[in-house]
Structure 1
Amino acid sequence: MSYEIVHTFGSTTYFIFVLLFLWASRVPRTNSGAGWWAVSISCALLARLGLFVLLAAANQRLAIAVYIMFNVLEKPFLMTGLVRFLNLSVRMRWFWTAALAAEAWLCLALAADFPSWARTLGYALVNAGFMLCMAGFLLKRRAEFPACR
């Protein structure tokens, strides 16, 4: 399957989720997590659209950099939404510090022309760290979720 089809389908799906989370965030007495998730998915949508448009322009290096930039930026918004949704008392400054460090790594790696595996290692560790942190938050609060039967 060509990348155009994959990214068109993915972008459409992300756009629908953005609309759904924005709509959910407008419901009275709804937790603010849905709005943060809408921003997070918007970053994922911009990453996918940036990759789609810039790859068509034959600028692969810029396309990948834009994709990574928005992909990393998606994670602190996702975590902020999770913290707001679960009413956790967590300092979100660490999320933004990690994202800033990943973005700085990307800029340094591109400026210094690091090999692709070195660029990937920097932001992949941050992304994995965010996902591990999210899993930890969810496991910590799993007793409060309704049982699936």
Structure 2
Amino acid sequence: MKLIAGAEAKPLDEKLCLALYSASRAMTARYRDPLAPLGLTYPQYLVMVLLWEDGHSSVGQIGARLRLESSTLSPLLKRLEMMGLVHRSRDPQDERSVVVALTRQGRVLERRAVGVASQICDAAGLSLEEQGELVAEIKALTAKLTAVRA
């Protein structure tokens, strides 16, 4: 029998990969109930939050910021447009780029979404300070994992 050292020796329940995967799935599931009255899925909500912050953004910028592939993002944006929440149009400065902007209905939805993020923090038992610290740690981990290694 071969002995395994280091991180490989840890049982599955103690591995970082499973802990992060499980936390991600739990987070997505926890958003379901507060998002249901808004008619949004979790990925749609993330796009809407980005647009509520920025007002409009190119499809490429949305994909980069949310780390979504165009094969995932395009149908998601199409659905939001069919729901009347966003409008997609070609950028007049660069016809290759598609800009996504909120509609009036999309801006109105923001008022209805107030409190969703707070509900999740409350469910997790996190203060705003603790949430900020956790976000910083996860961002640092993401940066390390996505850094190009020479």
Same-fold call, TM > 0.5? no
In proportion to residue count, which structure has more strand? 2
Structure exhibiting the larger radius of gyration computed from Cα positions:
2
